[in-house]
Amino acid sequence: MRLMVSGGGTGGHIYPALAVIEEVKKAEPDSEIMYVGTHKGLESKIVPKQGIPFETIKIQGFKRSMSIENFKTIGLFILSVFKARKMIKEFKPDVVLGTGGYVSGAVLFAASQMGIPTLIHEQNSVVGVTNKFLSRFVTKIGISFDDAKKDFPEKKVVSTGNPRATQVTQIKAIASWKEFGLSDDKQTVLIFGGSRGAEKINQTVVESIQALGKQDYQTLIVTGNVHFQKIMDQINAEDLKGNVVIKPYIDNMPEILGKLSVIVGRAGATSLAEITALGIPSILIPSPYVTNDHQTKNAMSLVNNGAAEIIPENELNSAVLMDKLNNLMDDDAYREKMAKSALNMGEPDAAQKIYQILNSIKKGS
């Protein structure tokens, strides 16, 4: 298979794409892959490290308010479509996959206009602007949440789940917590506001440090690099002995997920794919700063299935966090029930499903 992939801007678009690429390579080791992103996006740092051929297009998103920048955006989109057509002519893909982000708009639009079979994947319950635009032109559409169906042409939609789920189920968990300065004899909670951290979650953690240190369970807190020193400056070192460890970032995050008792964090699509694939009980604090409040809608899909609890950020404080966390950690039966519900929502074969769709549309069936 000759596969062109485009997706960028955030890890939520990039990691699902990498999971599909991994699945394609496993099924067809001789496959040729090209990834198209932007030079400024996170993909420019992540994708080349995977040894995947990487090309860039210059593009930007529309401003939501009236702005002269939007005229520049239209011009860049037109130029990026021409550049994408050139790349497609040179690479000659059998099929093109888009996982979201503005760059995928130009690439998938160009491919569809050239008669190349195309598939887009929507990770969130609320459909992104780019995928909504592309839905009129592409061959097939994969979705992770049923709520997304209503915004797409019905005949094109296939429920696949998030391919990141396939990847995390295949990653071996760490053997011991000792490398993090934690005990292997205690239940472990992770509090994590995403790769860049979340200020409100971090500040709530500061207020909760003494309470967390007194529990029978232990807590691993990941602040994000940019917040780490500020948080450490506010905390007494005595409060970090034994039960609580704070890290700025964890490179091998997928390797620790399988050893967690509970995760407290955001409700991005990739995080929820990991949580459900591994059956991790969770307390979700959706970011209120994302487009169309889609993290709340993502989170509610788990809450409504008994797979998670939710704390809106505007209601988050130390008392609320500790109450929910302690209730969950004190009730083994409830935690086990939540874990089973999460696991039932998981899609561990999502990447395989997407590979099968790619193969199908490549053959024209």
- Bind-site residues for UDP-N-acetyl-alpha-D-glucosamine: 10-12, 124, 195, 250, 295
Give the 3-state secondary structure of the chain. CEEEEECCCCHHHHHHHHHHHHHHHHHCCCCEEEEEECCCCCHHHHCHHHCCCEEECCCCCCCCCCCCHHHHHHHHHHHHHHHHHHHHHHHCCCEEEECCCHHHHHHHHHHHHCCCCEEEEECCCCCCHHHHHHCCCCCEEEECCHHHHHHCCHHHEEECCCCHHHHHHCCCCCCCCHHHCCCCCCCEEEEECCCCCCHHHHHHHHHHHHHHHCCCCEEEEECCHHHHHHHHHCCCHHHHCCCEEEECCCCCHHHHHCCCCEEEECCCHHHHHHHHHHCCCEEECCCCCCHHHHHHHHHHHHHCCCCCEECCHHHCCHHHHHHHHHHHHCCHHHHHHHHHHHHHHCCCCHHHHHHHHHHHHHCCC
- Count of C-beta atoms within a 10 Å radius of residue 187: 16
The binding site comprises: 10-12, 124, 195, 250, 295
Bridge-partner residues for 245, per DSSP?
220
272 and 124 in contact (C-beta within 8 Å)? no
> Would you give the end-to-end CA distance of the chain in angstroms?
16
